[in-house]
Homo-oligomer: A and B are copies of this chain.
Amino acid sequence: MQGNAGQRNRRGRPGYDLGKLLDVSVQVFIERGYEGTSMEDLSNRLGITKSAIYHHVSGKDELLRLSVNRALDALFAVIEEERSTTGKAIDRLEHVVRRSVEVLVEDLPFVTLLLRVRGNTKVERQALTRRREFDRIVSDLVKQAEAEGSIRPDVDPALTARLLFGMVNSIIEWYRPNRGLRAPAIADAVTKIAFDGLRNGAGEPGG
């Protein structure tokens, strides 16, 4: 982050620090697609010159890299949390799912951009590699939970991991901030449905 956030430049436009620059750029990338966005588009939306953007970053590519890494860093930080690393695998898995929902809601535009990356550039491929690494860690947790006997053994661990995070990631499709639903309520719903089941009476923890 650079220093002059909130200041105004000589032409009376708001000054941008890197954080604010990313916020706006990610919004434009989501609306127009990364490939469909030019530096011209970003310059117009930000109301600053292209050279003012180049003051902060080397180009569109670096904006994308910083943006998807913000989402990835937050998700990997979840995996490092104490409740993700100690205790029974089923509880660690549930914690990772719950906290991932919270990261997704808190960093919604950044995670949305990350989930749309298709691998067309080097930056996108690096992001996909880190996503796969995260998926592998989740899939391993599912396997450990199955090995300790706390997850039903009749569903494939890799498929389970995909469906679990399919449910989590689907939140980007409909979640809108300021409509009342808070992250912990959504996280509760996801973990209740996925871990204890929707059927009434299905909710007794086993293992």
Contacts and interface: CB of A to CB of B under 8 A. Distances in A.
Nearest to A162: B174
A8 to B, nearest CB: 35
Contacts of A202: 152, 195-197, 202-206
Given A166-B167, A166-B173, A170-B170, A198 B152 contact: yes
A166 B164 CA distance: 10
Interface stretch (A41-49, A56-64, A76-84, A153-161): A153-161
A155 B197 CA distance: 11
Contact of A160 (B33, B189, B205): B189
Contacts of A151: 198-200
Interface centre among A153, A160, A166, A188 (most CB of B within 10 A): A166
A12 interface: no
Contacts of A185: 159
Nearest to A197: B197
A190 interface: yes
Contacts of A173: 166, 169
Contacts of A5: none
A192 interface: yes
